[in-house]
Amino acid sequence: MPDTQLVLEALSALSGCTMEQTDGASVITPQDFVNVVALKEFYRQEGFKELEYPSLGTLSLQEDGDLYSSPMPLAEGPHNPEPSGSLRPTVKINPQDFFHPQYDYDFTHVKDGDRKFLRGNEQYLRPCGWNRVALRVMQKYDDGDAWLGTGSNAWPVSYHGHNMDGSLGIIWTRKGSATDDPEFLDAAAAALVDKGQTKRGRGVYSTPDVKIAEKYCKKFKSKVDGKTYQVVLQNRINPEKREQCQREDVWLVFVPEGVSDVQKRAIVQEAIRPYGLLLKQV
């Protein structure tokens, strides 16, 4: 496993919280973490400025820079003050109950070439070039661990890049208008195939291709070694809960209008389960 402080920086960059190590129990679980990351992007897509999350309080949805910028430094300083504590909460993480080093895997120098891998009878594009920090998610769900396996009843692998759905959401608000922006072509990803009808892609996006997620990933400069890293979440996605997009390399967990905050959390939790944090030095 990479340096613990480096990994906590990566979690901080993705969540917008300040992650700190503790010897006590972790305040959140890996599932809470992916809920926060996904819902922050969704709420931002919907135009909200803040997100309330149990055990964390109020989280700011204000961006700390453009898509490819580093996050705000984790420590206060005269030239880079922290946001209000109520909007950037400090979250205590115990590495022993949050990470699972036994299943770490360094893909940094791995090249799969023509080799094929399957998860849930669907192609698994391994995150070659990335270093995976495993999250402790085994024996955490009532339906067992089959979702995390390699058999036919396993869930397919998906990757979540910071601001992925936020970017596509912005594109959707411009749908039908003239634009020279190359990213406008990605609007096709939000067009869902549903009984021959196309509906607006409102929800949480992910992709089976880490190269797509990398286009939207968060970057941060580590205070541990001064190097810049990219960070992406590696998840499993419930094949019964995702929507098929016109682009095969983008999936959507649809969030209907009018559902409560509790229902939104439930939708994410039933559809997306994290199991790895991916790091890549730039």
pLDDT tens figures, 91-126: 999 999 999 999 999 999 999 999 999 999 999 999
pLDDT digits (tens, 9 = 90+) for 148-189: 999 999 999 999 987 665 444 333 333 333 333 444 345 444
Q: Are 235 and 157 in contact (CB under 8 A)?
A: yes
Residue 114 structure tokens: 């023509």
- The sign of the torsion formed by the CA atoms of 44, 265, 68, 245 equals negative
Give the residue-averaged pLDDT of 202-222: 92
Cβ atoms of 49 and 60 closer than 8 Å: yes
**Stated pTM of the model:** 0.82
Identify the pLDDT of residue 135: 98
Instruction: Give the mean model confidence (pLDDT) for residues 271-282.
Output: 97
Convert 78-109 to b/e letters by CB count within 10 Å (16 or more is b): eeeeeeeeebbbebebebeebbbeebeeebee
Tens digits of per-residue pLDDT, 62-78?
765 433 333 333 333 33
- Whether residue 203 contacts residue 210, with contact meaning beta carbons closer than 8 Å, is answered with no
